[in-house]
Amino acid sequence: MNKISLNSKVSLLEIIFSVIIFAAAGIIMLNCFGIARFTQIRANDKAAAGAIIQSDIEIIKSLKNPTEMHEFLDDSYDDKSSDNPITYTKYFDEKWVQGRGKDYTVTISVEEENINFGVLVSISISAKKTKPYPFIKKGGQDVYLVESKKFFPLTGGAYE
Amino acid sequence: MEKQNQFPFILIMLLYLIIVILSVLIIFLGKNIYDNINEERNTNYNLRVSLSYIANKLRQSDKSGSVEIKQVNGENALVLNEEYDDEQYQTWIYFYEGGIYEMFTDSENTFDLSDGMKLVDADVFNIEKVRDDLYRFYAASNEKSSELYLSIYSKVVTP
């Protein structure tokens, strides 16, 4: 009866190489999984932040004067800095629920300029993640940014 | 000689077993991550497409008197009035049986809710008129929700 003979030194060397190759491939795969997961989380964040930012801009665009705008921002944002431009900040948790955590911040800066027949307000609104995304180096902590302007006329200005 | 080889042989088999177990774990981890990504992508698609589509429709029809809200099946529906060749037409966007539907019809005609074209799946879809020039749209899908406010420029009121 034939018996299996095993050259232990060669086999052990082979298995050590196999383990090293497997470990290297495993680390690369886990890194790819991590990148894929956090890229998806970033895409989700862009969708959520986009809706919040667009809504705020749309509401501001529908208001009649800068006073109404500041009232809306005072009510809907958590913090305010009185510097020029005036900056308002609101905080969201990881599920984009306002007031439950500080995983994400949405900051709006408004700068008013008195020009002929009205006030021109420059608006910059951005969403940021408080901590950087793991595995992803590109893009930093920025999630979304919109810059816009709104003119509040002193008289008239509506169009049908 | 056989005794000498016994320990490395068991060690080698043990290492192979560990490699197999870890391989299976990595495959399952990859599968779970892929499933999660796919599910969230679908949810995102449903929420974003529904709200973006409505925003675009509303922008297209942003003319005086063309946007209104009517009740359909106990829910608010968005109605966009249009005129082609002196004929009045309406685009209805409404929630019906787990989806957001669109129906383009002659303004004189009545229609069945199932006649509309399904745009996307949604668990909840609400339309609310906040002010004359501001509408709120809310959509929920797979326990995730999103809301969008849209202002109608044609209804901007003078100060």
A132-158 residue pLDDT tens: 998 887 777 889 999 999 999 887 554
Q: What is the mean pLDDT of chain A?
A: 86
The span from the CA of B95 to the CA of A130, in Å, is 37
pLDDT of residue B4: 53
Establish if B148 belongs to a structural domain: yes
| Binary contact (B37, A40; C-beta < 8 A) | yes
Q: Chain A to chain B, count of Cβ pairs less than 8 Å apart?
A: 103
Establish if B33 belongs to a structural domain: no
Domain locations along chain A: 8-153
- Chain A: which residues have CB within 8 Å of chain B? 3, 5-6, 8, 11-12, 15, 18-19, 22, 26, 29-30, 33, 36-37, 40, 43-44, 47-48, 50-51, 54-56, 58-59, 61-62, 64-65, 152-160
Contact B64, B155 (CB under 8 A): yes
Amino acid code (one letter) for A152? F
Establish if B147 belongs to a structural domain: yes
Over residues B53-68, mean pLDDT: 88
pLDDT of residue B75: 87
Of A134, A118, A121, nearest to A41 (Cα)? A134
Least confident segment among A64-73, A107-116, A124-133, B44-53: B44-53
Q: What percent of chain B has pLDDT over 70?
A: 92
Q: What is the pTM of this model?
A: 0.80
Q: Which residues does chain B have within 8 Å of residue A22's beta carbon, measured at their own beta carbons? A: 19, 22-23
B16-45 residue pLDDT tens: 888 889 889 999 998 998 998 888 888 888
The span from the CA of B35 to the CA of B12, in Å, is 34
Contact A10, A18 (CB under 8 A): no
Report how many domains make up chain B: 1
pLDDT of residue B159: 36
Q: Whole domain around residue B99: which residue ranges? A: 39-155
Over residues A95-99, mean pLDDT: 89
pLDDT band at A3 (very low <50, low <70, confident <90, very high): low
* ipTM value greater than 0.85: no
